[in-house]
Structure 1
């Protein structure tokens, strides 16, 4: 009895830790030096998309997969076809199934919800 209880507790704590993301960030992509062509401001959508993907890579990828294919959590590669940005934000804030609430918060939650809503 004690062994099974210990296994359940250990498994649950590992699942929660994995969904919370890893403090070690993935290596940053190499950036090209700014030139006259690249110094113009990028559209806001591009900035939001890259911010959303960055948050996903840091906090969500361990459960939902590097290519949104799923793993411990469900696949998110076509989540925007079923859920709006507000629906996705609600899941992020309130949790669902084994996903704990508030894995990411504030602007990070907004950015990842917008990025995922575009996945159709």
Structure 2
């Protein structure tokens, strides 16, 4: 039982670390004005650098053809499937949603 609990905690820690990370990478801080950088730091570990998805995480390279900016922002804020909510918030969420909505 203890081994299962330790495994569960380690797995949860890895997911949280991979799907959010720190707000800093190489000394650079994320700004709402750079949605690609925000995506790279907060989302690419699951959706891939080229937005093509990895493993069971979906390809979002043409997400703007399927969803509006408002719908994309809602997914960012509320989460969906294995994606946890609010990995990106506020102006950053809006900027990333706008950028992704242009991917058609």
TM-score range, shorter chain: 0.7 to 0.9
1:81-120 equivalence runs, <5 A: 81-120=65-104
**Structure 1 runs of 4+ off > 4 angstroms?**
none
Matches of 1:52 and 1:26 in 2, distance apart?
A: 17
Partner of 1:55: 38
Label 1:68 to 1:26 Cα distance change in 2 as closer, same or farther (>3 A): farther
Partner of 2:59: 75
Aligned partner of residue 34 in structure 2, secondary structure: helix
Matches of 1:83 and 1:101 in 2, distance apart?
A: 18
Residue 10 of structure 2 corresponds to residue 10 of structure 1: yes
If the length of structure 2 is used for normalisation, what is the TM-score?
0.82
If the length of structure 1 is used for normalisation, what is the TM-score?
0.72
Which structure has the greater CA radius of gyration?
Answer: 1
- In the alignment, structure 2 segments of 5+ residues that lack a partner are none
Aligned pair count?
100
- RMSD of equivalent CA atoms: 2.1
Partner of 1:35: none
Q: Is the 8 A contact 1:21 1:62 kept in 2?
A: no
Matches of 2:34 and 2:97 in 1, distance apart?
A: 11
